[in-house]
Structure 1
Amino acid sequence: MNLNMEEEKVLLVDGMALMFRAYYASAVTGYIRRTKAGLPTNAVYGFMRYFWDAVQKFDPTHIVCCWDLGGKTFRAEQFAGYKGNRSEAPDDLIPQFAVIQEVMESLNIPNISCPGYEADDCIGSLASRFSKEMDVYILTGDHDMLQLVNERTRVIIMKKGHGNYRVYSPESLMEEKQLTPRQIIDLKGLMGDTSDNYPGVKGIGEKTALKLVQEFGSIEGILANLDSLSKSVRTKIENDLDMLHLSKSLAEIRCDLDVVCTADGCRLNLDPVTVITKFEELEMASMSAWMGLAAN
């Protein structure tokens, strides 16, 4: 065993979370960065600032970026209202989706997605696979990802502003929320998720859901102890059992997809010239300097 070998660590990037965060953080000012030809690039620029800051801080040896695809997912098949409250992406953001992926390709970072599934499911599946051989760090703003935390998988939640992170391990998750990773799924099953537009049990909010999960351990534990619940809470659960089970199913991130991405295929290996050329094309040469890249 070579003790001098660099410790291997993969960063799984929630491309959707970073892209939307980058777009809205700058769009709120009313100014949209554009190339001379009129291509909006504010999300591209912001994405790279968020992304590269995390790379510098967490120093991964491997990186993968995961994305949603257009089209219906299996969750929308299960529940027609799933994410039905989401508004269309802003016109200025739509063309930047492909451009960000092109930038990641210029960095030799694979863009991964899977028809019928979400970026979360790709991340869950890759985390499950890669954690058998290296430490896994998931970069996101989505607290649903906390269900993926384990002894070899950390979830990095991006906080407001650049460079502000909360890194969750099983211990810090328990300390902050008094929940295990799997209990995040039970919590969502009970209280639902307004962002993803599924209801959970009508009339049960986060406070009650948290108390029930902490007391009984899981939805199964709660259902096995219905007699010990208050009449009000018991009635709400009994009246909404089907939605409770459906909401729990919707909340659970899939970790068993056959995602095509090998460890060798996502090892970080930049060619500065390719990256610099891409940034020059996008009229953001300052990004190359900020990343510390110099043409050989």
Structure 2
Amino acid sequence: MALLFRSFFATAVSGQFMVNSQGLPTNGVQGFMKHLFMAAEHADPTHIIICWDMGSKTFRNEVYQDYKSNRNAPPVELIPQFDLAKEVAGRFNLSNVGVSGYEADDCIGTLAKEYKGERKVSVVSGDQDLLQLLDEGIEIMLLQKGFGNYKTYTKNGFVEEKGITPEQFIDVKALMGDTSDGYPGVKGIGEKTAMKLIQEHGDIEGILQNLSSLTPSQKKKIEADLDMLHLSRKLAEIHCQVPLDVKLSECVWNQVSSEHLDVVEEMELKVLRRYLLGSNVMLPISG
């Protein structure tokens, strides 16, 4: 979903919605599929699974009703592309996964943790929240500006760069909050202070056990927002036990064939067609 939104707004800002003859905007879908295929070229996977949010409400809204309530409604040109993106991916024999009541991140986390022991797992997204999933066998390919540019994190690389573990990153998020997701954490504590506190005390419980060693300002802020701190911790953590029914044998990645180009022509995905014909994900066209 993060890649679909990114693709939509990249061209929507100049009014390029790429409307087809049926009056359906396709800019987000075409960009999303291009991101996906470029990631496949980069990572050379054996299997691909695409995880989606399934509606705006999840179990986190039951915990905190204002979760993500600060987000604007999606533009009218984007709304029909939610289903279209899944349809196009499905026509390329790619597996779409999503469970009502959970976020795509939860599905990603569940799958990554399930398969990390038997194969290498690469997660592609523009969402830094997924860094908490880093583990032995799990890497995160964070999309940078443009197409095909990634900052790839491993667990060891993350620890070396940030000075905390992926699990501790959840506690950092709990302290600093997330304006995008609409939970405040502890008011007045930003990323820099949150990182420093977790580096020094290990986790939130360690901070609470050593409140007397904090500055008077830090102690006052945390004590004033203690309930929200614990709540933010629950909201920040990716839930890795989603009830998924995924058969890995049905998620095998095969390169794009001339048969798939028929789908592109049918849906008038001209930008995607140009990319595929010049890419390494396209099998040679015989004849």
Name the TM-score, length of structure 2 as normaliser. Answer: 0.94
Change (3 A) 1:121 1:105: same
1:27 corresponds to which residue? 12
2:219 corresponds to which residue? 234
Structure 2 distance, partners of 1:123, 1:21, is 18
Structure 2 residue identity aligned to 1:289:
L
Unpaired runs of 5+ in structure 2? Answer: none
Structure 2 residue identity aligned to 1:286:
R
Structure 2 distance, partners of 1:70, 1:255, is 19
1:212 corresponds to which residue? 197
Bigger shift: residues 112-121 or 165-174: 165-174
Bigger shift: residues 153-162 or 46-55: 46-55
Structure 1 residue identity aligned to 2:278:
W
Shift of 1:102: 1.1
After TM superposition, list the pairs within 5 Å mapping 1:156-167 onto structure 2.
156-167=141-152
1:183 corresponds to which residue? 168
Q: Deviations over 1:244-290 (max 9, x none)?
A: 00000000001111211122121113562442121011112434423
Structure 1 residue identity aligned to 2:219:
R
- 2:94 maps to 1:106: no
1:290 corresponds to which residue? 278
After TM superposition, list the pairs within 5 Å mapping 1:116-195 onto structure 2.
116-195=101-180
Unpaired runs of 5+ in structure 1? Answer: 1-15
**Secondary structure in 2 matching 1:48:** helix
**Secondary structure in 2 matching 1:138:** strand
Shift of 1:37: 2.4
Residues 190, 204 of structure 1: 8 Å contact kept: yes
**Secondary structure in 2 matching 1:186:** helix
Decide which of 218, 223, 234 is 2:208's aligned counterpart: 223
Q: Deviations over 1:131-169 (max 9, x none)?
A: 121110000011110000011000110000112100011
- 2:42 maps to 1:57: yes
Structure 1 distance, partners of 2:56, 2:232, is 21
Shift of 1:94: 0.9
Note the aligned Cα RMSD (angstroms): 1.4
1:80 corresponds to which residue? 65
Bigger shift: residues 110-119 or 278-287: 278-287
Structure 2 distance, partners of 1:271, 1:47, is 16
Aligned length: 281
Structure 1 residue identity aligned to 2:274:
S
Structure 1 residue identity aligned to 2:119:
M
Structure 1 distance, partners of 2:96, 2:173, is 28
Structure 2 distance, partners of 1:281, 1:270, is 19
Shift of 1:38: 1.7
Bigger shift: residues 48-57 or 265-274: 265-274
Structure 1 distance, partners of 2:259, 2:111, is 27
**Secondary structure in 2 matching 1:195:** coil
Structure 2 residue identity aligned to 1:45:
Q
Q: What fraction of aligned residue pairs are identical, expressed as a percent? A: 49
- 2:206 maps to 1:259: no
Residues 122, 259 of structure 1: 8 Å contact kept: yes
1:8 corresponds to which residue? none
Change (3 A) 1:29 1:293: farther
**Secondary structure in 2 matching 1:62:** coil
Shift of 1:34: 1.5
Structure 1 residue identity aligned to 2:195:
L
Bigger shift: residues 163-172 or 113-122: 163-172
Residues 22, 46 of structure 1: 8 Å contact kept: yes
Q: Deviations over 1:50-71 (max 9, x none)?
A: 1111100110000000000114
Name the TM-score, length of structure 1 as normaliser. Answer: 0.91
Residues 279, 288 of structure 1: 8 Å contact kept: no
- 2:190 maps to 1:200: no
Change (3 A) 1:82 1:119: same
